[in-house]
Amino acid sequence: MAAALAAPFALNGAVKMANSTTSQAYLDGSRVKESKTLIADLCRQFYTLGWVSGTGGSITTKVHDDSIPKPEQLIVMSPSGVQKERMVEDDMYVLSPSGSILSAPLPKPYPHKAPKCTDCAPLFLKAYHMRNAGAVIHSHGIESCLVTMINPFSKEFRITHMEMIKGIQGHGYYDELVVPIIENTAQESELTESLAEAIKAYPKTTAVLVRNHGIYVWGDNWISAKTQAECYHYLFDAAIKLHQLGMDWSTPTHGPIQSANGVLGNVRDAYRPTKATKIASENGTEPLKRCIVLDIEGTTTPISFVTDVLFPYARESVGKHLAATYETAETQDDIKLLRAQVQEDLANGVAGALPIPPEEAGKQDVIAAVVTNVEAMIKADRKITALKELQGHIWRTGFQNNELQSVVFEDVPEALERWHALGIKVYIYSSGSRLAQRLLFGNTNYGDLRKFLSGFFDTTVGNKKESKSYVEITESLGVDNPSEILFVTDVYQEATAAKAAGLEVAISIRPGNGPLPENHGFRTITSFSEI
């Protein structure tokens, strides 16, 4: 009898947990109290930063409890219309995960307003539900407002090569940070759908700017959200100051803002169609492209360098690299990726695939199996993320030890510099990892060329022979029309996929490149000087 009663109790544990979080005892408990106090403390700090003055802005956090999955944790939110620097824990609202109010503050005497939950609540819930956030900050900081006004037609804020970009989740110094901008409305709640659309359209973003208004920033927890909010405001302030100096914050060198006719005398002209662009449009000729996306192998770099230098180096060094770095988190992640790929290969009957034993089998057995699979993958020229990640880490060691120096065609450095001077942003899209791409262009026979590049794409955005990959790149670059992007590659299937996505395409004809189908229909170039 006892066993029969115990079973339903165990099966309904999740229900019991949910009910316990909505009990009065839990609402009055230490976890909720700590979250309320935290928000009051942060509001006072953000008030001094100018982010929440005039009762503007708002903050929310999940009630952290290790025994409860994050989606089921309660939510604490600051109220609307309360002086942020004078907030106390009793001013806070407590909401269920779905957004229903579980606890509200008591009214205060005149001149205080009647209590009201923040108008940002529906927007906060979107970040919680769509990104599994642990905390969200809404700031009215002047930097986040002004940066949306510099170019009133832009739908994005973009910046690259700034140290504080490293404080934004998933970004590094060389990456281009892209923050979507949505248009303001009279009522905060009316922003809900446009914010949700921006979150969906920009899967890598952790923030959304609202023009003439402010910013919403979220993170896995309150520390992540606060850290990122501080970094965003720093970067916005830097962009504003660079703009005042007539400098372009969105390019790697942050040099003078350029037009097709050279350095602009008035920074406001940076956002007007240039005379050259207008004439080209009127005459029916091709205007300057906003972006150029380049393949590497057979386009910027001889195929022979990849096949005769990089691949053999990786193949010969893989065992030594794994043995020397086996205990590191990076190498363990590489092995996990390869193990998952091999399991998929075995299921699909891929030739050369050999099971990689679990970690318990011992270091030597695991390494031996990984080496065998990697050699087979390299021999088959597999364009898979698991292989490319490991190769990138091996090549990094080679470049650091001066055992490798990358090669680019002689017309590449001049073209990159010329395009950069014209204000055209150049990106790389290669099957090699982003790390490998940065290493290649940072250590060329012509020096470090990364200052001319605005970003790197690899197979994490998709297979290079699938059109949806180029749609993803187009959305990331934020152009109004995919035809504003020129993609240059030596591979016919890649050219076809990019064209299907609406990009302009040119096929690179270089020594050692493979033949093209007859009547392929694409423009061909033998040098970047033709672009």
**Residue 143: what residue type?**
E
- The C-alpha torsion from 253 through 257 and 259 to 265, rounded to 10°, is -140
| Cα torsion angle, 268, 271, 277, 281, sign | negative
**Interatomic CA distance for residues 138 and 124, integer angstroms:** 9
Residue 425 annotated as binding? no
Phi, psi of 33 (to 5 degrees): -60, -45
Active-site entry in 163, 183, 190, 530: 163
Q: Tell the burial category of 507 from Cβ atoms under 10 Å away from its Cβ (0-12, 13-18, 19+).
A: buried
CB 228 within 8 A of CB 168: yes
**Residue 305: what residue type?**
F
Residue 490 annotated as binding? yes
CB 87 within 8 A of CB 77: no
Choose among 363, 311, 315, 307: nearest CA to 335.
Answer: 363
SS3 for 481-495 is: CHHHEEEEECCHHHH
Residue 297 annotated as binding? yes
Residue 261: both structure tokens together: 């006719």
Helix axes 385-400, 311-325, angle to 10 degrees: 90
Residue 431 annotated as binding? yes
DSSP letter, residue 526: S
Residue 213 annotated as binding? yes
CB 257 within 8 A of CB 267: yes
**Interatomic CA distance for residues 295 and 301, integer angstroms:** 9
Q: Edge-to-edge strand order for the sheet containing 156-160?
A: 101-103, 93-95, 75-77, 58-62, 135-139, 214-219, 207-210, 176-182, 156-160
Residue with tokens 């990138």, as numbered in its chain: 392
Residue 464 annotated as binding? yes
What 3-state DSSP class applies to 250?
coil
CB 168 within 8 A of CB 179: no
Residue with tokens 């364009």, as numbered in its chain: 383
**Interatomic CA distance for residues 63 and 80, integer angstroms:** 20
Residue 483: both structure tokens together: 């035809």
Residue 231 annotated as binding? no
**Interatomic CA distance for residues 231 and 164, integer angstroms:** 6
Q: How many CB atoms lie within 10 A of CB 253?
A: 12
Residue 120 annotated as binding? yes
Q: Which helix H or strand E contains 208, and what residues bound it?
A: strand 207-210
Choose among 148, 171, 169, 97: nearest CA to 127.
Answer: 97
Residue 286 annotated as binding? no
Does residue 89 have an active-site annotation? no
Residue 85 annotated as binding? no
**Interatomic CA distance for residues 167 and 179, integer angstroms:** 14
Q: Which residues are annotated as a binding site for substrate?
A: 120, 430-431, 464
Give binding residues as ranges.
120, 138, 140, 213, 295, 297, 430-431, 464, 490
Residues known to be catalytic = 163
Q: What are the binding residues for Zn(2+)?
A: 138, 140, 213
